[in-house]
């Protein structure tokens, strides 16, 4: 049987970033998590997860989407762009589970994995372009993206056209492949 010390050791030495949060405030994280963002674990304890997002809008919008899903299933996963302490942006795979589906942010445990080696951020994007890119990579249609972001499908299409130009690709399929790090 594992002792409490063994469990803490497993948490602290996990090869992926682990974080326990309450109301989206970091209660405890391992060094893998902290170093992924350029901090020490002590510097992050008691701080809002918002400081790790590229913008406050992204923190709010991802939270709103995650809240609905976590209330339904108790779990949430996505791939999103996050921000390092030095300001550079990177793609991150995130998976989380809540203690209480009725209050998903009351206490949650999340795993963060830096996936920038296979999916680098190579082109500066606006906040809205990053949000749309994340949802396109998740396989959402323009109508689904529009519904999730509270904007019109035409606005999504205009942003997607800008993403095509910025990433120098010709088709929506190439766009998703580029965003997903497949090309």
Would you state the pLDDT for residue 121? 84
- The full DSSP string for 86-139 is TS-EEEEEEEEEES-TTSTTTSEEEEEEE-TTTS---S---HHHHHHHHHHHTT
Give residue-wise pLDDT tens across range 94-152: 999 999 999 999 999 999 999 999 888 888 889 899 899 989 988 899 999 999 889 99
Q: What b/e readout covers 114-124, taking b as 16+ CB neighbours within 10 angstroms?
A: bebeebebeee
Whether residue 107 is found in the same domain as residue 134 = no
Residue 180 confidence (pLDDT) above 80: no
Its domain, for residue 164, covers: 127-179
Taking the C-alpha atoms of residue 46 and residue 80, their distance in angstroms, rounded to an integer, is 23
* Domain tally, the chain: 2
Give residue-wise pLDDT tens across range 32-90: 999 999 999 999 999 999 999 999 999 999 999 999 999 999 999 999 999 999 999 99
Out of 89, 114, 139, pick the residue that ends a domain.
Answer: 114
Evaluate if pTM is beyond 0.85.
Answer: no
Residue 138's φ and ψ, nearest 5 degrees, are -75, 0
């Amino acid at each position: 049987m594992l002792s409490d010390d063994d469990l803490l050791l497993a948490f602290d030495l996990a090869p992926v970033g682990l974080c326990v949060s309450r109301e989206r405030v970091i209660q405890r994280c391992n060094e893998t998590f902290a170093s992924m963002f350029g901090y020490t674990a002590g510097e992050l304890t008691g701080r809002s997860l918002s400081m790790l997002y590229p913008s406050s809008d992204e923190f709010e919008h991802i939270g709103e989407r995650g809240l609905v899903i976590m209330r339904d299933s108790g779990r949430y996963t996505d791939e999103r762009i996050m921000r390092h302490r030095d300001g550079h942006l990177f793609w991150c795979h995130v998976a989380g589970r809540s203690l209480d589906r009725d209050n998903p942010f009351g206490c949650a445990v999340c795993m963060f994995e830096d996936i920038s080696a296979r999916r680098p951020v190579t082109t500066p994007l606006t906040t809205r372009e990053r949000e749309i890119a994340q949802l396109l990579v998740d396989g959402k249609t323009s109508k689904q993206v529009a519904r999730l972001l509270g904007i019109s499908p035409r606005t999504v299409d205009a942003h997607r056209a800008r993403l095509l130009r910025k990433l120098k690709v010709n088709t929506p399929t190439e766009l998703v492949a580029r965003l997903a790090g497949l090309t």
